[in-house]
Structures are given as C-alpha cells and as structure tokens.
C-alpha cells in the first residue's frame, strides 16, 4: 500500500524526505565577486558597460557589469560604484548558479609624469580600496561573500589615445556558505511516522527541526584571493573609451585554489568635463569668462602684496586706467633769476 502524506504535514514531510535522500557539495567559492575597479582614469566622470568571461577547471564565471564613476575636483580621486550579474557553474556540474554583486571603490591616481592637454597623465601610480559584496543563490547552495579588494595599478599612456595598465590586487573576504548534506537516516524508523490505519505520514515540529538541523549546514570562514591582469584602453576622443582586459584570479577556499582566466571588455562614456585642476592654463581658460578670471585673480592670496608693491613704486594710475603714462617732472627748486637783485635803501 502506498503511503500518503496528510495535507497539514505535506510540505514538511516532502522537505524532510528530500533531505534524507539528497546532498549537495558547496559549489560557490570565494573570489567570485565582480571586478573591483572599472577604470584607471581618475580625471573624468563616466558610466561604463562591460562583460567578462572566466574559465576554470571545466567551469565558468561570467560577469556582466554596469559602473558609474565620479571624479573629484582635483582629478586624482575617483569614486566608482558597480552592479554585477554573476553566472557561475562548477566543473562537472550542469547546474548554473545565478547571483548579484556590487562594488564601491575609491581609486586614487598620483601622476608621475606630465599630462596631455586633455588632463590625462602620461604615467601614474594608482591604488584602490573598497568593498565588494556578492551573493550566489541556487536550490541547494547559497553563498554570500564580502570581499575587501586592495590593489595597485601602473597605467601608462604612450599617447593620448592609448593607455596600458598592469594591476594586481588581494581580496580578503568573509564568507557564509549554506548547503545541504546527506542526512543520516540509519537511526530513523520510518514506521514511527506512519499511521497504520490510514497509511498517512505524520511528523512533529520537533522531528522536522531535527532533520533540517542535521541536513542543512552553514560554514563561516575567512579567505584571501589574488587577482592580477592587464588592461588596454583606446581613447576615442575625450568622451568615449574602449576597454579590453585580461586577468588571472584564484577561486576557492584555499589561498592557492583553482586558477580562473578572465577575458572581456567594455565601453566607457564620459558624462562630464574633466576638472579644471588637471587642464593646462591655455585649455582651462577657454571655457571661462573674463569676469570669472578677474574675480579669481583678485581673490588670489598674492594679490594684496602685489598691489602694495605696485603702489609703493608709484603706479596707482597705471592700475586704475590700465595704462602707464610718464608724468612731467616738477622741479624741486624754482629756476634762478639771472638779473641781479634790487638794492634796498641804505641803512640809516
């Protein structure tokens, strides 16, 4: 006679029976977060769309990303925020795990060479730090990672149209991995759950809780991964950049876990002009009004000293009318009279 599950206990019994007979290895691993920094150019505010495909041990990790980047008034600091779709599959496992990730990075570039007339440094030393949470969800595996990427890059621009950027980063992360394991049913007597009169299965709340506790495992652990690669950027004018990237990354709980090779690219579109601080004077003053230049000139800390010096040298009129004219010199003493002085009456 087939066993029936009573309606009140159907969902609980089905879940427990599934856990009794099934198990799943932990598929999601540390190192599966999205790219940390999207661009090494800290002189412009941009939006960026990119895709990277990663392959490792017969599995894959594909990442589609959107980034919004904001530069500071100095042109050295870039705040970069990203949203990432993650598509993950472990080698030998046909199931694909989908997930989402986010990144919030501070990218700081220190120019070590001159800049081009558009503000792009010819060479820079760049370091970056931030946070990168991600989550991969499937029926049997749920993986949550919070990584703290920290790295350096050395972007070099041999011309204003090309930038080559080698980089390396370390990703310490805190991980929560929830997965199912085979439940040991050797000590479980299925007949105890069966009603001999009706054939129905009945499980108490305590029995359900014990089965779930024994079959669902949660691992908490710390891991550190390495990533490194090379980026090649083509600057199509001052508004659009084409990015091509190659990278190598460790994936797994161990520090020297499986190696994944990433290849991809994207397009970055500048939505704002570069800050004035990175432009040469000739380019910076093109977009400014004369009054703005004059107001800034008069607010310069050196301006009062310059005025005082000019006044001390007797150039008041030159400053007032913006024209210096030579003034006729006033003789210090009146000219002498050639005629002899008139003689006065003799003294009495």
pLDDT at residue 27 in the model: 47
The rounded Cα 27 to chain-centroid distance in angstroms is 27
**Contact assessment for residue 61 and residue 48, using Cβ atoms and an 8 Å cutoff:** no
**Stretch 330-344: mean pLDDT, rounded?**
57
- Looking up tokens 């009945």 gives 202
Distance set, CA 278 to CA 10, 45, 221 (Å): 68, 13, 44
| Cα 71 to Cα 246: distance, rounded to the nearest angstrom | 25
The rounded Cα 48 to chain-centroid distance in angstroms is 11
Give the DSSP H/E element, type plus range, for residue 224: strand 216-236
What's the CATH class of domain 4-274?
A: mainly beta
| Cα 202 to Cα 192: distance, rounded to the nearest angstrom | 9
Pairing mode, strands 162-180 and 141-147: antiparallel
Does residue 26 carry a pLDDT above 60? Answer: no
**Stretch 265-286: mean pLDDT, rounded?**
84
**Contact assessment for residue 21 and residue 91, using Cβ atoms and an 8 Å cutoff:** no
In 3D space, the residue among 259, 241, 228 whose CA is nearest the CA of residue 50 turns out to be: 241
Tens of pLDDT, residue by residue over 150-204, are 999 999 999 999 999 999 999 999 988 776 665 555 555 556 666 666 666 666 6
The pLDDT-based confidence of 299 (bands split at 50, 70, 90) is confident
What's the whole-number average pLDDT of the chain?
78
| Cα 340 to Cα 346: distance, rounded to the nearest angstrom | 17
Does residue 215 carry a pLDDT above 60? Answer: yes
| Cα 167 to Cα 249: distance, rounded to the nearest angstrom | 12
Where do the domains of the chain lie? 4-274, 288-321
Q: Which of 15-29, 127-141, 207-221, 243-257 has the highest average model confidence (pLDDT)?
A: 127-141
Residue 337 burial (10 A CB sphere; 0-12, 13-18, 19+): exposed
> What sign does the dihedral 341-345-346-348 (CA atoms) show?
negative
Instruction: Please tell me whether the overall predicted TM-score, pTM, comes out greater than 0.75 for this model.
Output: no
| DSSP string covering 175-210 | EEEEEE-----TT--GGGGB-TTT-EE---HHHHHH
Alpha-carbon Rg for the chain in angstroms:
38
Tens of pLDDT, residue by residue over 114-135, are 999 889 999 999 999 999 999 9
């Amino acid at each position: 006679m087939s066993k029936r599950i009573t309606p009140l206990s159907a969902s609980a019994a089905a879940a427990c029976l599934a856990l009794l007979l099934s198990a799943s290895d932990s598929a999601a691993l540390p190192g599966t977060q999205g790219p940390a920094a999207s661009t090494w150019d800290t002189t412009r505010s941009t939006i960026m769309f990119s895709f990277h495909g990663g392959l490792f041990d017969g599995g894959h990790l594909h990442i589609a990303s959107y980034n919004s980047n904001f530069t500071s008034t100095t042109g050295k600091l870039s705040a970069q925020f990203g949203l990432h779709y993650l598509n993950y599959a472990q080698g030998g496992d046909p199931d694909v795990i989908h997930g989402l990730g986010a990144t919030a990075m501070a990218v700081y570039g220190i120019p070590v060479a001159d800049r081009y007339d558009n503000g792009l440094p010819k060479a820079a030393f760049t370091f970056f730090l931030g946070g990168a949470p991600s989550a991969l969800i499937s029926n049997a595996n749920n993986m949550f990672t919070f990584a703290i990427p920290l790295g350096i890059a050395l972007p070099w621009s041999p011309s204003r149209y090309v930038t080559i950027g080698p980089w390396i980063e370390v990703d310490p992360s805190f991980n929560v991995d929830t997965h199912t394991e085979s439940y040991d049913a050797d000590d479980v007597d299925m007949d105890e759950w069966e009603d001999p009169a009706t054939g129905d299965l009945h499980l108490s709340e305590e029995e359900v809780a014990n089965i779930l506790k024994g079959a669902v495992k949660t691992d908490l652990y710390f891991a550190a991964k390495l990533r490194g690669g090379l980026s090649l950027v083509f600057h199509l004018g001052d508004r659009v950049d084409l990015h091509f990237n190659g990278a190598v990354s460790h994936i797994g709980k161990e520090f020297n876990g499986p190696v994944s090779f990433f290849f991809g690219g994207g397009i970055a579109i500048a939505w704002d002009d570069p800050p004035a601080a990175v432009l040469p004077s000739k380019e910076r003053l093109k977009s400014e009004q004369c009054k703005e230049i004059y107001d800034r000139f008069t607010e310069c800390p050196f301006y009062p000293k310059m005025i005082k010096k000019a006044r001390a040298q007797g150039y008041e009129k030159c400053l007032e009318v913006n024209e210096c004219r030579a003034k006729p010199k006033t003789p210090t003493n009146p000219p002498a009279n050639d005629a002899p002085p008139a003689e006065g009456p003799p003294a009495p």
